[in-house]
A and B are shown apart, each in its own frame.
Chain A
């Protein structure tokens, strides 16, 4: 036996490298494929579960406000309305606040304060949904009902168009409380993304603008935002996705009433809170199937929102001539 020459050793090592390369590539590809398998499996299983309800109620399920387990008549309109209304409310409150916090952390805060505030906002995200719910129901709602709600009804209740939104008995719980708590819950997610993308703006770009005499706001408005808008939209998308499907906090404070009301102070229902409340107690195939159909609708709404956001992102990047 002759000891393998240096060249043979090198070739052997290279061959092993190629083999391991292929193995590693196949493994990563397999698990990337798993992601696709999971989403398809979710869709298929929801469709199968919802099929009896779809067959019985047809498209009318979408706009029927009926929800009666006794007569086995079900419709999704109330829950869909509640889901959309609370999420929109959460976005109206949450987007400006998140942007403000991200702006403060990246541009205004003194260096020593950046980390603590960043961590504090992230901790807001770490608090479980159920804690928000307990706090909302037992602490926030009573205070809100006693102090804020009567004032809002007195002062805004008579306004021509929006007045109706603020009518109703001061119960504390309802659509508005749910929307506000959702906003607080999604703020850290949107802030984190915005902050991260603001921070990747090359300092040279900002310094050039400052050098031209721009104010901090102008730098943000004309340099940071254009550079990062893709990321900002991504962050908002993330927040909206979470708001739409958020379950426990909403279940605590929305009031769980199967009714649509023009007032933000009235109780309502969302798809997720209906599922959380009724799924384990649902008796009979049609009841369960209708609940799964609700889940299917929620899944499609989230799907739609995300697809739209993605398309927007693609258009934005295409216009800028960047590669994704």
Chain B
């Protein structure tokens, strides 16, 4: 019969097999999704997509204004959110130890991190859009910055905490003031990790649709100012995909392919760059 040894080996084998199957299960969806994007989107990718503005239904056009709008808002959102996040994360990891404020901030940041992005959209709608009286690219960028902030705070703190205290102590023992220790030693040691956090944040906001629905809204025409409603790729894709017009649906798939592969490319590029720069420890 089953002695203990056989039973343990069986349990081991069974669980490990399930683990392998889980991995295959996970990767299966990725392959299917990417395949779908390529098959549905690739036939409609052409130069017009990159150079022409969004068309009315039934005529030819592209996504140029949406792409530019997305780039502007993503850049601005990252630009606002990242420095705030890094400094706040630094406080949590370096200055806040033992303080009463740090645990509260950490708790709140975790909530903000998981706060549904659509709630952030509603918040910005009430605070910015209503008071400005109109939808605008700034409102969209601010909503995106609110998504960047907690991501960067969290990863910065996590990464700074991974830096061994002995490094800090060694620098302090040489007479370096704390700001110098943090900037020259701790940041440098954690640079790769912090950068990964920022990249993750950028990747996340590049495809965010929900917070833009009622902040940046959309714009069928060229707009190069963040002061008015601005076209952006995710919302255009949403509108076009849900529309009954074939042309629009094709553009939606082309946009989906474009946005996804740009994000994937950025992700992979960042990892390659990080890998070559990171010392091998």
Give A residues with C-beta under 8 Å from B. 14, 17-18, 20-21, 23-25, 27-36, 38-39, 41-42, 45-46, 48-49, 96-101, 103-105, 107-108, 117, 119-124, 126-135, 137-139, 184, 187-188, 191, 215-218, 237-238, 240-242, 244-248, 252, 272, 275-276, 279-280, 291-292, 295, 298-299, 302-303, 305-307, 310, 324
Contacts and interface: CB of A to CB of B under 8 A. Distances in A.
A104 B256 contact: no
B30 A123 contact: yes
30 contacts: A17-B176, A23-B179, A28-B87, A28-B94, A35-B112, A35-B150, A38-B149, A39-B111, A45-B126, A49-B122, A100-B20, A108-B19, A119-B271, A120-B30, A123-B264, A127-B207, A128-B207, A128-B259, A128-B263, A130-B256, A134-B252, A135-B36, A138-B40, A215-B8, A248-B210, A275-B122, A276-B210, A276-B213, A307-B111, A310-B107
Contacts of B22: 96-101, 103-104
Nearest to B107: A310
Given A217-B15, A280-B217, A272 B118 contact: yes
Contact of B267 (A46, A123, A242): A123
B106 to A, nearest CB: 9
Contacts of B32: 135, 139
Contact of B209 (A45, A121, A240, A248): A248
B115 A238 contact: no
B222 interface: no
B178 A24 contact: yes
Contacts of B178: 21, 24-25
Contacts of A20: 177, 179-180
Interface of B: 8-9, 11-12, 15-16, 18-23, 25-27, 29-30, 32-33, 36-37, 40, 83-85, 87-88, 90-92, 94-96, 101-105, 107-120, 122-123, 125-127, 146, 149-150, 153, 176-180, 182, 203, 206-210, 213-214, 217, 234, 237-238, 241-242, 252-253, 256, 259-260, 263-264, 267-268, 271
B118 A295 contact: yes
A32 B92 contact: yes
A279 B122 contact: yes
A131 to B, nearest CB: 5
Given A120-B27, A217-B11, A247-B116, 12 more contacts: A20-B177, A28-B91, A32-B105, A97-B25, A105-B23, A121-B27, A121-B30, A127-B260, A131-B37, A131-B260, A216-B12, A218-B8
A240 B113 CA distance: 12
A299 to B, nearest CB: 5
Contacts of B94: 28
A128 B33 contact: no
A128 B234 contact: yes
Contacts of B102: 32
Given A215-B8, A302-B111, A302-B115, A184 B92 contact: no
Contacts of A241: 113-115
Contacts of B92: 32
A100 B16 CA distance: 8
A25 B104 contact: no
Contacts of B213: 276, 279-280
Contacts of B114: 237-238, 240-242, 244-245, 302, 305-306
A123 B203 CA distance: 10
A130 B237 contact: yes
A295 B117 CA distance: 11
Contacts of A121: 26-27, 30
Contacts of A295: 118-119, 122
Contacts of B18: 100
Contacts of B264: 123, 126-127
Nearest to A282: B214
Contact of B122 (A41, A244, A292): A292
Nearest to A29: B91
A30 B86 CA distance: 12
Contact of B115 (A17, A117, A130, A245): A245
A126 B203 contact: yes
Nearest to A306: B111
B24 to A, nearest CB: 9
Contacts of A240: 114
A275 B118 contact: yes
A248 B114 CA distance: 16
Contacts of A27: 87
